[in-house]
Amino acid sequence: MQPSHPADNQAVKSSPEALQEKEDWKPDPNSPLPLHMQITSYFSARISSGAWPPGMRLAPQRKLCRQLGVNRSTLAAALGTLAGQGLIEGRRGGGTRVAAADGSSNASWNDYLEEGTHYPNLPAVQAINRLEYEPGLIRLGTGEPAPELLPGAAMTRVLAELAARALPPLSYEEPLGNAQLRTAVSRQLLKYGIQAEPDSILITSGALQGLQLIALGLLPRSSTILLEKPSYLYSIHAFQSAGIKFSGLPMDQGGMMVSRLAAEALRTKAAMLYTIPSFHNPTGIVMSEERRHALTAVSGELGLPILEDGAYQELWLDTPPPKPLKALDREGRVLYLGTLSKAAAPGLRLGWIVGPQPVIRRLADIKMQTDYGASSLSQLAAARWLEGGYHEEHLTLLRGRLRERRSLMLQLLDAHFSGLASWSVPAGGFYIWLSLHRPLPLRRLFEAAQQAGLLLNTGDLYDRGDSRHLRLSYSFASPEQLYSGLPELAEIIKQLSNDK
Q: How much is the pTM?
A: 0.84
**pLDDT-wise least confident of 58-67, 116-125, 264-273:** 116-125
* pLDDT tops 90 at residue 66: no
Taking only the tens place, the pLDDT of each residue in 241-258 is 889 999 999 999 999 999
Q: How far apart are CA 464 and CA 4, in angstroms?
A: 9
Taking only the tens place, the pLDDT of each residue in 442-459 is 999 999 999 999 999 999
Q: What percent of the chain has pLDDT over 90?
A: 73
In SS3 terms, the chain reads as CCCCCHHHHCCCCCCCCCECCCCCCCCCCCCCCCHHHHHHHHHHHHHHCCCCCCCCEECCHHHHHHHHCCCHHHHHHHHHHHHHCCCEEEECCCEEEECCCCCCCCCCHHHHHCCCCCCCCCHHHHHHHHHCCCCCCEECCCCCCCHHHCCHHHHHHHHHHHHHHCCCCCCCCCCCCCHHHHHHHHHHHHCCCCCCCHHHEEEECCHHHHHHHHHHHCCCCCCEEEEECCCHHHHCCCCHHHCCEEEEECEECCEECHHHHHHHHHHHCCCEEEECCCCCCCCCCCCCHHHHHHHHHHHHHHCCCEEEECCCCCCECCCCCCCCHHHHCCCCCEEEEEECCCCCCHHHCCEEEECCHHHHHHHHHHHHHHCCCCCHHHHHHHHHHHHCCHHHHHHHHHHHHHHHHHHHHHHHHHHHCCCCEECCCCCECCEEEEEECCCCCHHHHHHHHHHCCEECEEHHHCCCCCCCEEEEECCCCCHHHHHHHHHHHHHHHHHHHHHC
pLDDT of residue 399: 98
Q: How far apart are CA 274 and CA 214, in angstroms?
A: 11
**pLDDT-wise least confident of 37-46, 122-131, 137-146, 490-499:** 122-131
* Amino acid of residue 403: R
Taking only the tens place, the pLDDT of each residue in 154-209 is 999 999 998 887 666 678 899 999 999 999 999 999 999 999 999 999 999 999 99
pLDDT band at 17 (very low <50, low <70, confident <90, very high): very low
Neighbours of 63 (CB within 10 A): 13
471 phi, psi to nearest 5 deg: -95, 105
Taking only the tens place, the pLDDT of each residue in 203-216 is 999 999 999 999 99
Q: How far apart are CA 93 and CA 15, in angstroms?
A: 14
* Amino acid of residue 246: F
Q: How far apart are CA 274 and CA 283, in angstroms?
A: 15
Closest CA to 421 of 409, 430, 429: 409
pLDDT of residue 11: 45
Mean pLDDT value of segment 74-103: 84
Taking only the tens place, the pLDDT of each residue in 341-382 is 999 999 999 999 999 999 999 999 999 998 998 899 999 999
Domains of the chain (ranges; CATH) run 17-118 (1.10.10.10), 125-149+396-499 (3.90.1150.10), 152-391 (3.40.640.10)
Q: How far apart are CA 308 and CA 333, in angstroms?
A: 10
Taking only the tens place, the pLDDT of each residue in 28-46 is 999 999 999 999 999 999 8
Taking only the tens place, the pLDDT of each residue in 399-409 is 999 999 999 99
pLDDT of residue 20: 43
